[in-house]
Amino acid sequence: MITVTEAKEIIQKQVFNEKIVKTAVFEAVNKVLAEDVYAMVDIPAFNQSSMDGYAFAFNEGIRNQPLKVVEEVPAGKQEHLRIEDGTAARIFTGAALPQDTDTVVMQELATLNGVELTVLDKNLVKGQNVRVRGAEIAEGELALRKGSYLSPATIGFLSAIGIVEVTTFASPVVSIIITGDELQMPGEKLLHGQVYEASSSMLRAALFQMGVRDVIIYYAKDTLADTTMVLDKALASSDLVLLTGGVSVGDYDFVVKAAELCGIEQLFHRLKQRPGKPLFFGRKGDKPVFGLPGNPSSVLTCFYEYVWTVLRRLAGQEDKLRCLKAPLSNSYTKTNQLTHFLKGIYKSGKVDILAGQESFRLRSFAEANCLVVLGEMKSYERDELVEIHLIPLYG
């Protein structure tokens, strides 16, 4: 067995070739840019009024001499207008300023008598209430760097500068192989010796939350031949493979041998941790392969601590769970010196280790918002600072 730290270092050293695709901007939310994006035009593309008011060429005597209003410019008017010095144009928010005008007085700070405009704003200065051409971004300027996360705000920004398509890191195709002859599908009658299969729906939900939509579910019988056949099929159809169960050293555990028969390079198998001690990690060419334990709580713990990291890297994103130090609200004693990942609730600056930590229990996981990481020490006291990894509850 190797340590958790050694296992994570092995994963970190792996280099996988990310796939990149062209994506419509409106479909790119939660993705990551794979190329720099540059502005194609000045935005705004003209000097633009930021107020409803009156546009004119500013001079210091503007408040002492009425101006004649000779034009009206609504937003979207495409005609290129030009007005003489000493005149003004009625203008509306977002409209293009007439040529040679440079200032807008807001309508509340001016009076209009027929066509004669009197400026009342004593603090008016040249250029006021005008968005100059290129104020948002200039043509050829870097808009977003490679690696930028595409949030709703960045999608809006890209649309506002006229971008319709971006190059992003593609979400990988993931295959999930469920092993275990004792498993029954939810909704079916349980026979003696059977348990409901939860890992496929749980993992698919976690993947969907990460933005991974191409998920293929396979089921393999507890035989070496069937496990090998299904694994070989999954490798041919996906970018990353997850197996659950069959990864230990029992008479009906065939994942490690099947991986060898499929030409998968084993990078580690069995860690000094609980839950998830029999975790397997390998690769075939550019495809990562994880053999997760069979118990659902162990499956999800290993997913967040190891698989999540690789999936985030393939998507061009930050690859670590958010990590904090927090004081324990209750003491805890372990029975061994393995690294423990315990389900906990982080609230009001403290973390509470939940009851029900056995690897078959999902009820406590359903309440948890973090994993509490306890190292080789056996006993941890109340208020002792411990490391916690926040579970990404909302993607």
Strands 103-106 and 183-184: unpaired
79 and 143 belong to one structural domain: no
Residue 347 has pLDDT above 90, yes or no: yes
Is pLDDT at 49 greater than 90 in this prediction?
yes
Cα 127 to chain centroid, rounded: 41
Q: Identify whether 27 is part of a domain.
A: yes
Asked if residue 288 has a cis previous peptide bond (ω within 30° of 0), the answer is no
Strand 350-353 relative to strand 339-347, pairing: antiparallel
Q: Please tell me the distance from the alpha carbon of residue 183 to that of residue 61, in angstroms, as a whole number.
A: 87
Q: What is the CATH number of the domain that holds 99?
A: 2.170.190.11
Q: Are residues 291 and 363 in the same domain?
A: no
Looking at residue 63, its pLDDT comes to 87
**What is the predicted pLDDT for the residue at 372?**
97
- The backbone torsions φ and ψ at residue 153, rounded to the nearest 5 degrees and listed phi first, read -65, -45
Q: State residue 32 phi and psi, 5-degree precision.
A: -125, 135
**Does the structure show a pLDDT above 70 at 19?**
yes
Q: Are residues 254 and 364 in the same domain?
A: no
Query: Given pLDDT bands bounded at 50, 70 and 90, which one contains residue 366?
Result: very high
pLDDT at site 112: 96
What are the counts of helices (DSSP H) followed by strands (DSSP E) for the chain? 8, 28
Residues 81 and 206 in one domain: no
321, 304 Cβ separation under 8 angstroms = yes
Asked which of 256, 279, 314 is the last residue of a domain, the reply is: 314
Asked if residue 65 has pLDDT above 70, the reply is yes
185's tokens? 């599908």
Q: pTM (2 decimals)?
A: 0.83
Q: 28 and 163: one domain? A: yes
Q: Tell whether 80 and 92 lie within a shared domain.
A: yes
> Above 60 in pLDDT, residue 30?
yes
Structural domain tally of the chain?
4
Q: Is the pLDDT of residue 26 over 80?
A: yes
| Arithmetic mean of pLDDT over the chain | 94
Q: Is the pLDDT of residue 278 over 80?
A: yes
Binned at pLDDT 50, 70 and 90, residue 252 comes out as confident
Give kind and range of the element (H or E) at residue 67. strand 67-73
Half-sphere exposure of residue 30: CA atoms within 13 angstroms, side-chain side: 11
**Mean pLDDT along residues 145-156:** 94
Mean pLDDT for 52-77 is 94
**CATH of residue 380:** 2.40.340.10
pLDDT at 382: 94
**Does a structural domain hold residue 165?**
yes
Judge whether residue 395 has pLDDT over 70: no
Please identify, among 291, 314, 337, the residue that sits at the C-terminal boundary of a domain.
Answer: 314
Phi, psi of 106 (to 5 degrees): -70, 145
**Chain segment 95-135, per-residue pLDDT in tens:** 999 999 999 999 999 999 999 999 999 999 999 999 999 99
Between β-strands 240-244 and 287-292, what pairing exists: parallel, antiparallel or unpaired?
parallel
385 lies in some domain: yes
Region 3-24: mean pLDDT is 94
Q: Are residues 104 and 158 in the same domain?
A: no
In angstroms, the Cα distances linking 94 to 44, 62, 238 are: 9, 23, 49
Asked whether residue 273 falls in the same domain as residue 296, the answer is yes
Q: Do 306 and 218 belong together in one domain?
A: yes
pLDDT at 28 over 80: yes
Q: Are the C-beta atoms of 299 and 244 separated by less than 8 Å?
A: yes
- Which residues have a Cβ under 8 Å from the Cβ of 131 and sit 6 or more positions away? 44, 47, 48, 49, 50
In 10 A of CB 10, how many CB atoms?
13
Cα–Cα distance measured from residue 149 to residue 145, given in angstroms and rounded to the nearest whole number: 9
- Residue 183 in contact with residue 159, Cβ under 8 Å? no
On whether both 218 and 341 belong to a single domain, the answer is no
Q: What is the pLDDT of residue 394?
A: 63
DSSP 320: S
- Please check the confidence at residue 243 and state whether its pLDDT lies above 90: yes
Q: How many CA atoms lie within 13 A of 361 on its CB side?
A: 12
Q: What is the DSSP string of 169-183?
A: EPPPPEEEEEE-TTE
Final residue of a structural domain among 264, 282, 314 = 314
**Mapping DSSP to helix (H, G, I), strand (E, B) and coil, where does residue 136 land?**
coil
Q: Is residue 395 part of a domain?
A: no
Contact 28, 168 (CB under 8 A): yes
What is the distance in angstroms between the CA of the first residue and the CA of the last residue of the chain? 32
Asked if residue 117 belongs to a domain, the reply is yes
Of 194, 169, 201, the closest CA to residue 180 belongs to 194
Strand partners, 280: 269, 291
Going by pLDDT thresholds of 50, 70 and 90, the confidence category of residue 92 is very high
Q: Alpha helices of 75-223 — where are they, by DSSP H?
A: 152-160, 199-209
- 3-state secondary structure at position 120: coil
CA angle (347, 322, 156) in 5-degree steps: 105
Same domain, 301 and 244: yes
**Domain with 202 in it:** 4-19+171-314
Name the amino acid, one letter, at 335: T
Counting other chains too, the contacts that 192-197 makes at CB distance below 8 Å and 24 or more residues apart are: none
CATH of the domain at 31: 3.90.105.10
Amino acid 227 reads T
- 164-190 burial, b for 16+ CB within 10 Å, e for fewer? eebbbbbbbbbbbbbbbeebeeeeeee
Convert the pLDDT of each residue in 170-223 to its tens digit.
999 999 999 999 988 899 999 999 999 999 999 999 999 988 999 999 999 999
241 closest CA partner among 298, 174, 299? 174
